[in-house]
Amino acid sequence: MENQKRPRILCLHGYRTSGQILKKSIFSRWPETVTQKLDLVFLDGQCPARGKSQVEGIFDPPYYEWFQSNEDYTEYRNFEECIEYIEDYMLKNGPFDGVLGFSQGAMLAAVLPGMQAQRVALEKISKIKFVILISGAIFRGMKYGTPKLASHAFSKPIDCPSLHIIGEKDFLKPESIILLEAFVNPVLIHHPKGHEIPRLDEKNLGTMLSFIDTIQGTPSYEEKRENMMENQKRPRILCLHGFRTSGQILKKSIFSRWPETVIQKLDFVFLDGQCPAQGKSEVEGIFDPPYYEWFQVNEDYTEYSNFEECIAYIIEDYMLKNGPFDGVLGFSQGAILAAALPGMQAQRVALEKISKIKFVILISGAILRGMKYGTPKLAFHAFSKPIDCPSLHIIGEKDFLKPESIILLEAFVNPVLIHHPKGHEIPRLDEKNLGTMLSFIDAIQGMPSYGHCRL
């Protein structure tokens, strides 16, 4: 299971709500044993809500709808445009393995495999392998007519794995049961609540996990090259945050700015520095405390405090007990530290008890012995000769540490550079820099086995 890719699922929200509302509902009610096994992508409907939302006062706007109908549900507007909108999104942001829908989104999700099989829509994208339908209904049921484009979608039972979540008190229960009958071998979760995303009791959780096991066994949604990549273990990376921030802050910055095409290829582990911040943090008011630092230095950067303790903390107390790790990523003070580790290991003054550091990723870094920084005793010989360790250096044009980062760049053999126009921060990756990042990941993926990574 862990070596397989998580099924990537496009999630379609309910009537006059939003992708963000559906996301909050699912992640607040389904346990991590479910959400961590799925790659859920939430899309907003293309039509702003054209009337009052039932969730107003519970969830913040904006609200959207996928299409409209007349009062007796016999005529539909914007349905074809809706399908084109979804297909365009799936084409540009896919591939997707399956579709999840709630309420109006479930009506839509349910009809997509049949339309695709009839070749009236979604011909440009890969086959939808499964659907998850929560509080759904069927076009052609007791209540709803059928849009012209979907007129043959249910002309025969849909042979697509389907999970149907139906509430005992849901006003759509009768329609959901008819929808259940439209699929071959549907899987049912029944709950006692109404028209909502339900919590999962022990029995229903078991049904959900069994369904996930089933769809995990479906053919991979990537091309052969991606399959080969994913059959390798993801490089496991220890991530060291910046001065007076935290592992959680670094995690939020990376996961909010780097795309899933990068995030999903790497196994990030975020550690807090061993020293509580000994002064005001620059991110106070932006990110919540607590804040940490790795070591301290005097005003002219010639004397260091807690540097040896920091190395002992990282190596003996964490990497040894929680490894093995393949590489180290650092930002700012964390990058200063990460950059010194391979050289210290090569000099056998530290890190002797752990496996060799195979690569480093250094963001807004600096070198211990540069124009600004002196060298702690333990790291005195770390840069005595060029470090022959694959390294990716991310340098900002407006970063106050840019000169130091360039010196650090020159301390490594064959460094790889990502240059961005911003300052001292985790940057977003434009098309060129994303390509550089993915090429670097390809290179480290091609290294000898990373050992028994704890994914």
Alpha helices (H) in 218-271, listed in sequence order: 224-231, 247-257, 260-263
Q: What is the pLDDT of residue 370?
A: 63
Contact 337, 249 (CB under 8 A): no
3-state SS, residue 257: helix
Contact 362, 330 (CB under 8 A): yes
Cα-Cα-Cα-Cα dihedral sign, residues 346, 349, 353, 357:
negative
Cis bond upstream, residue 62 (ω within 30): yes
Q: What is the pLDDT of residue 390?
A: 96
Both tokens of 365, joined, read 């870094």
Contact 455, 267 (CB under 8 A): yes
CA–CA distances in Å: residue 441 to residues 29, 138, 233 = 35, 45, 12
Alpha-carbon distance of 237 to 361, in angstroms, equals 9
The residues facing 363 across adjacent strands are 331, 394
Nearest Cα neighbor of 244 from 292, 290, 288, 284 is 292
Nearest Cα neighbor of 158 from 110, 99, 220, 193 is 110
The residues facing 238 across adjacent strands are 269, 328
Nearest Cα neighbor of 53 from 95, 31, 21, 23 is 21
Angle between helical axes of 333-346 and 307-314 (0-180°, round to 10): 80
3-state SS, residue 406: helix
Q: Which residues contact 56 (CB under 8 A, 6 or more apart)?
A: 63
Q: Name the DSSP class of 7.
A: P
Q: What is the pLDDT of residue 232?
A: 58
Q: What is the pTM of this model?
A: 0.51
Alpha-carbon distance of 441 to 446, in angstroms, equals 9
Alpha-carbon distance of 355 to 338, in angstroms, equals 15
Nearest Cα neighbor of 259 from 437, 396, 90, 399 is 437
Strands (E), 94-219: 98-102, 130-134, 162-167, 187-191
Alpha-carbon distance of 149 to 128, in angstroms, equals 18
Strands (E), 90-143: 98-102, 130-134
Contact 17, 64 (CB under 8 A): yes
∠ CA 74-79-84, rounded to 5°: 160
Q: What is the pLDDT of residue 221?
A: 35
Alpha-carbon distance of 451 to 323, in angstroms, equals 9
Walk along the chain (455 residues) and give the pLDDT tens digit of each residue. Answer: 344 678 999 999 999 999 999 999 999 999 998 999 999 999 999 999 999 989 888 899 999 999 988 888 888 899 999 999 999 999 999 899 999 999 999 999 999 999 998 889 898 898 999 999 999 998 876 677 788 888 888 888 999 999 999 999 999 999 999 999 899 999 999 999 999 999 999 899 999 999 998 888 744 333 334 444 444 578 999 999 999 999 999 999 999 999 988 999 999 999 999 999 999 999 999 999 999 999 998 888 888 899 999 998 877 679 988 889 999 999 999 999 999 999 999 888 888 888 899 999 999 999 987 667 778 888 888 898 899 999 999 999 999 999 999 999 999 999 999 999 999 999 999 999 999 999 999 999 874 332 322 22
